[in-house]
Amino acid sequence: MGKIDGRTIALKIDNVILVGRTSSSINFSADMLDKTTADSAGYKEYLSGEKGSTISVGALYDPDAAEGMSEAIAYLMAGTELKLVYGETATGGKYFTCDGIISSVNFTGDKNTVANYTLDIQVTGDWTIETVSGSST
């Protein structure tokens, strides 16, 4: 089974890579529509409903970053819909392209740690999966 290094996963926001990333994830979900009836033999039954996705990213705070926490807060406050690319950066790797809106930004500056932040992005609409053809997405 092939494995990839998590460091090769990146998030681009409007074609600029988010710097200082320490963690990231993409979650795909579907609403479950209850179709249980009296004929269901005592078990719940479901249909798959509307699909959705969210992206969560943690990063170290860098006030000089081209795409970082300050920009994320500005996008959140403006409700800006962003063009996103999330996934592998190595040639042949897979990545997702989609539109999304930042739904939360959390800034943390605990004693004796590097200041960091997390952002959550709600994907809007459909997404596509593509293959990296060059050295980066």
How is the beta sheet containing 9-13 ordered, strand by strand?
16-17, 9-13, 81-88, 94-108, 116-131, 46-60, 21-34
Helix then strand count (H, E) for the chain reads 1, 7
DSSP 30-45: EEEEE---TTSTTS--
| 1-46 pLDDT, tens digit each | 578 888 889 999 998 888 889 999 999 999 999 999 999 999 999 9
Determine the CATH number of domain 6-131.
2.30.110.20
**Does pTM surpass 0.75?**
yes
Give the residue extent of every domain in the chain: 6-131
